């Protein structure tokens, strides 16, 4: 990852921290989760080279109103593959950082939600043809179910769909796709 993107990532992490501290000052419940799951890219050419794979990250959720949450997330995807024609090795890194709103309905210890947001995608591909770095803003839709396991411990399962178009060379690629994610966190 280049220094430029690393600096952006640090700025966003600092934003996460200060946002959560300022919201905590208003005594709104905050949930911090570690998430992991499976990423299925939407673009068939991307899948042909890299396939699908594991993804992981962090998510912060802040309750704004009784049924409305603000969420922020950062996810990481890394995969090795082979170029289509030459079968040379290649690798890709995709970092997504985003935020949005989700509507939540609760029933006892169970809750369901659906939401929308934006993600900034950082794409880095490295192979014998060169190193390609690109970034762009994309749209994310999410739906899930969660369970309050014990006191403040929260478990969630959700689906994300994201769309982000980039032009790494002379072609356009959608580096978004479907994600099935499991999260485990603590509600403060």
pLDDT in tens, 121-148: 999 988 888 888 888 999 999 999 999 9
**Both ends of the chain: CA-CA distance in Å?**
33
Does 3.30.565.10 match the CATH number of domain 3-187?
A: no
pLDDT value at residue 2: 53
Residues 6+ apart with CB under 8 A from 183: 33, 34, 35, 36, 59, 154, 155, 156, 157, 158
Q: Quickly tell me which residue has 């419940």 as its tokens.
A: 29
pLDDT at 6: 56
pLDDT of 52 reads 92
Per-residue pLDDT of the chain (188 residues), as tens digits, is: 455 555 566 566 656 655 655 555 456 789 999 999 999 999 988 888 888 999 999 999 999 888 999 999 999 999 998 887 788 898 999 999 999 999 999 998 999 999 999 999 999 988 888 888 888 999 999 999 999 998 889 999 999 999 999 887 777 889 999 999 999 999 98
**How many CB atoms neighbour CB 126 within 10 A?**
15
> What pLDDT sits at residue 54?
94
122 three-class SS: strand
Q: How far apart are CA 38 and CA 182, in angstroms?
A: 9
pLDDT for 13? 60
Is there a contact between 35 and 61 (Cβ–Cβ < 8 Å)? no
What per-residue confidence (pLDDT) applies to 56? 94
């Amino acid at each position: 990852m280049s220094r430029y993107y690393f600096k952006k990532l640090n700025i966003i992490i600092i934003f996460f921290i200060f946002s959560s501290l300022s919201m905590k000052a208003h005594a709104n419940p905050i949930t911090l989760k570690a998430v992991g799951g499976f990423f299925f890219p939407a673009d068939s050419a991307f899948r042909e080279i890299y396939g699908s794979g594991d993804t992981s990250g962090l998510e912060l959720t802040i309750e704004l109103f009784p049924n409305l949450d603000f969420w922020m997330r950062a996810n990481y995807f890394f995969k090795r593959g082979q170029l289509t024609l030459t079968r040379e090795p290649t690798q890709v890194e995709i970092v997504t950082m985003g935020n949005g709103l989700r509507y939540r309905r609760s029933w006892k210890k169970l809750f369901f939600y659906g939401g929308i947001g934006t993600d900034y995608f950082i794409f880095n591909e490295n192979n014998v043809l060169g190193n390609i770095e690109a970034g762009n803003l994309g749209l994310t839709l999410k739906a899930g179910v969660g369970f309050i396991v014990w006191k403040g411990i929260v478990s969630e399962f959700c689906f994300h769909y994201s769309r982000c178009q980039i032009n790494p060379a002379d072609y356009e690629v959608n580096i978004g796709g479907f994600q099935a994610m499991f999260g485990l966190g603590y509600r403060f």
